[in-house]
Amino acid sequence: MNEIQSLETWNDWDEINLSTAELRQQRLEILLCQKLKNGEDVTQCLQVLEYLKNSTTEQKLTDIFFQRVRNRLRLEFLQKASFIGMAVIVAMTCFITASRLANFSTPNNSLPTLSSKKHQSVKPLHKPVKHESNR
């Protein structure tokens, strides 16, 4: 009630901070009380007060909506980034495996291949030793 008494004329309102919707609504409520106290018409104050309340609610709902949209976009980005990361890991694994297989099959390290001959002659590992008899 002290605020109502301290703001007696409209000219005093020029020095008041009205930067946020909450402050404007609070000051409008004070003005409404002043007008009621003086017996003046308050219909315009009520309309503006209703507008401020609706715009504040709308602003809060808009903030909530955009916060949800941002969260959804972040989630989609993380899903795509993890999918791409997994694809890169799989591709690198396949590349490394193919590289190792290619190095293994070089001519120096190649596995013996089967020839088209039906039978190969097998050379003995050691020569048979003839024993001389003692005479």
pLDDT per residue as tens, the chain (135 positions): 455 555 555 556 566 666 777 787 888 888 888 888 888 888 888 888 888 888 888 889 999 999 999 999 999 999 999 999 999 999 999 999 999 888 887 655 545 555 545 555 555 566 666 666 555
Domain contains 116: no
pLDDT of residue 83: 97
Domain contains 103: no
Domain contains 58: yes
- Residue 57 sits in which domain range? 2-80
Into how many domains does the chain fold? 1
* Cα three-residue angle 36-37-43, rounded to 5 degrees: 15
Domain contains 130: no
Domain contains 57: yes
**Half-sphere exposure (CA, 13 Å, Cβ side) for 90?**
6
Contacts 24+ apart (CB under 8 A), 47-56: 49/25, 52/21, 52/24, 52/25, 52/28, 53/25, 55/21, 56/21, 56/22, 56/25
pLDDT of residue 131: 62
Domain contains 135: no
- Contact criterion met (CB below 8 Å) for 52 and 58: no
- Cα–Cα distance list, 15 to 9, 10, 27 (Å): 12, 10, 12
pLDDT of residue 97: 93
Domain contains 88: no
pLDDT of residue 125: 60
Q: What is the DSSP letter of 123?
A: P
Domain contains 33: yes
